[in-house]
Amino acid sequence: MGQLQDEIKRRRTFAIISHPDAGKTTLTEKLLLYGGAIHLAGSIKSRKTQRHAVSDWMEIEKQRGISVTSSVLQFDYAGCRINILDTPGHQDFSEDTYRTLMAVDSAVMVIDAAKGIETQTKKLFKVCKQRNIPIFTFVNKLDRYGKAPLDLMDEIENVLGIKAYPMNWPIGIDGRYQGVYNRRKKQIELFSADDSHGQKERESVIFAAQDEMVKNKISEHEYNTLLEDIALLDEAGESWDDDKVAKGELTPMFFGSAMTNFGVKNFLEEYLRLAPPPQPHISDSGIISPEDDKFSAFVFKIQANMNPAHHDRLAFIRICSGKFERNMQVMHVQENKQIKLSQPQQFLAQDRQIIDNAYPGDIVGLFDPGIFGIGDTICDSNKKFRFADFPVFPPERFARVEAKDTMKRKQFIKGINQLTQEGAVQLFEQPGTGMESYIVGTVGQLQFDVLKYRLEKEYNVDIVITMQPFEVARWLEFKNGLEVKPESLNGADRGMFVKDMKGRPVLLVNNEWALGWIMDNNPELILHNVPPDKKEA
């Protein structure tokens, strides 16, 4: 096998998804600990940052270098090259999360054993399901009292509509579990007491399931309960099915505790064994296999002002095929231009470094002089194609945004346009109002706070946000192809007539009822929830 194939085979690119507080940061940290990428767990400083409120988000901003490097992590373990992509926990960031999930081959869903499936888990799970990627479940916090393992399995099945296949099973009493049973290896792993508070790898002793010695370590009752549970799973549980796992219809389920390192190594090893290597991607000239030796990648995230002193922007690309080489010339398809990929960066645990090579599945950060957009394709100049567009979310909240100080108009326009390119918000213009103000559309409220904060910090512009009473945006077309203008539209004054940044007409209305009226009174009108050249998420 060639070098390219070898490199592809050993790569695992995934995201960890969870409801805030379920333990995503802790688990990430522990994977790094086991991967030898950090020596003492507890050094990812961004923990607790991506929590509930804007103030927390701002905390991240203060530590930007750190939070950003921890948003893509790469390390090696047992011959595998692992790329972990961080997903923000905020529900208001769903669009950002969505894009990140476009760049992974599988996802790990962390569930708090006491809480079960929570709202944010449900939403993120839905996105993974749409993409048909394999989902692995890690039930966390087993060191505390929680729901019974069988009830958690039922919950996954009933709430998420996916079957679960336990890979391991907790041994002992709820809240005082002592180990896990590995169903594949038919082995019992008992953890020794540990006073490092989770900062070191947890030691354990392994027994064959039938080993009499186990009975010296756990009570007769615990042992018998384990045997009964295993028999029940074997007889009544789901059977293993590679195909269903690959399609995200069956989730391999693990029990453990990230904080106390209980079951983490077992999880990591089984996960790496089962998780898929880089998968093919759909393009407008067919399926692009990672083994295709012509380089290709897409941009899934743009982050401006990572270094506030320099206003630099990074475009994060996911490599889909071929080998990446520093300074290579490639085609930026959307701009139809040749570009040179200089200063590519990769993220190794806490550090950023310039890299020379990368392979399919890897994430590389490119300096972006403002040319890239989310979803853009870059590829070998001899084989030009586009990857399928990223689906977009219809905006649901709208506000008029203007600079407090009109002298700052130039920075305001620059800032708001750059943040739009990053995909932070959607921008509209109300014809006739010039560029004094914009109408900004978002999916969630927090995006406005973040917009205000970032314009202030990164562009030195204070803005005034005036919320508008609209909840629905529709891109408009006439069936006969004529241009839609306010005067040719019955009831344009029932909402606000605006244009998106490509000059396409959009009507913002208060509710579905107003929309119904517009539809009834304009039989020639076609309405789109998202721009007509995009797919809705």
Name the residues that contact ligand G4P, by CB under 6 A: 18, 20-26, 47-48, 89, 140-141, 143-144, 257-260
Taking the complex as a whole, the smallest distance from the CB of residue 438 to ligand G4P amounts, in Å, to 34
Counting every residue written for the chain, the total comes to 537
Place of tokens 């475009």: 315
**Tokens at residue 337, please?**
């231009």
Taking the complex as a whole, the smallest distance from the CB of residue 121 to ligand G4P amounts, in Å, to 10
C-beta of residue 132 within 8 angstroms of C-beta of residue 247: yes
Q: How far is CA 274 from CA 26, 107, 165, 206, 353, in A?
A: 22, 12, 13, 22, 30
Judged by beta carbon, residue 177 or residue 398, the one nearer ligand G4P is 177
Q: How far is CA 512 from CA 2, 489, 535, in A?
A: 57, 17, 21
Q: What is the CA radius of gyration of the chain?
A: 25
Place of tokens 């998202």: 530
Judged by beta carbon, residue 89 or residue 444, the one nearer ligand G4P is 89
Place of tokens 């490639």: 330
Judged by beta carbon, residue 7 or residue 143, the one nearer ligand G4P is 143
Judged by beta carbon, residue 68 or residue 288, the one nearer ligand G4P is 68
Taking the complex as a whole, the smallest distance from the CB of residue 140 to ligand G4P amounts, in Å, to 5
Helix and strand numbers, DSSP H then E, in the chain: 14, 31
As a whole number of angstroms, the distance between CA 97 and CA 77 comes to: 26
DSSP string for residues in 222-254: HHHHHHHHHHHHHHHSPPP-HHHHHTTSEEEEE
Q: What is the DSSP letter of 366?
A: E
Taking the complex as a whole, the smallest distance from the CB of residue 419 to ligand G4P amounts, in Å, to 25
Judged by beta carbon, residue 26 or residue 442, the one nearer ligand G4P is 26
Judged by beta carbon, residue 113 or residue 427, the one nearer ligand G4P is 113
Buried b (16+ CB within 10 A) or exposed e, 467-476: ebebbbbbbb
Taking the complex as a whole, the smallest distance from the CB of residue 375 to ligand G4P amounts, in Å, to 27
Judged by beta carbon, residue 131 or residue 144, the one nearer ligand G4P is 144
SS3 (DSSP) at 198:
coil
Instruction: Pick the closest to residue 279 from 47, 103, 502 (CA basis).
Output: 103
Taking the complex as a whole, the smallest distance from the CB of residue 15 to ligand G4P amounts, in Å, to 13
Place of tokens 């530590």: 63
Taking the complex as a whole, the smallest distance from the CB of residue 433 to ligand G4P amounts, in Å, to 42
Judged by beta carbon, residue 23 or residue 179, the one nearer ligand G4P is 23
Q: Cα 427 from chain centroid?
A: 23
Taking the complex as a whole, the smallest distance from the CB of residue 66 to ligand G4P amounts, in Å, to 15
Judged by beta carbon, residue 145 or residue 240, the one nearer ligand G4P is 145
Taking the complex as a whole, the smallest distance from the CB of residue 425 to ligand G4P amounts, in Å, to 25
**Tokens at residue 206, please?**
């392994």
C-beta of residue 304 within 8 angstroms of C-beta of residue 313: yes
Judged by beta carbon, residue 122 or residue 404, the one nearer ligand G4P is 122
Residue ranges in 363-472 assigned as alpha helix (H): 409-421, 446-459
Which neighbouring-strand residues pair with 301? Answer: 316
Taking the complex as a whole, the smallest distance from the CB of residue 160 to ligand G4P amounts, in Å, to 18
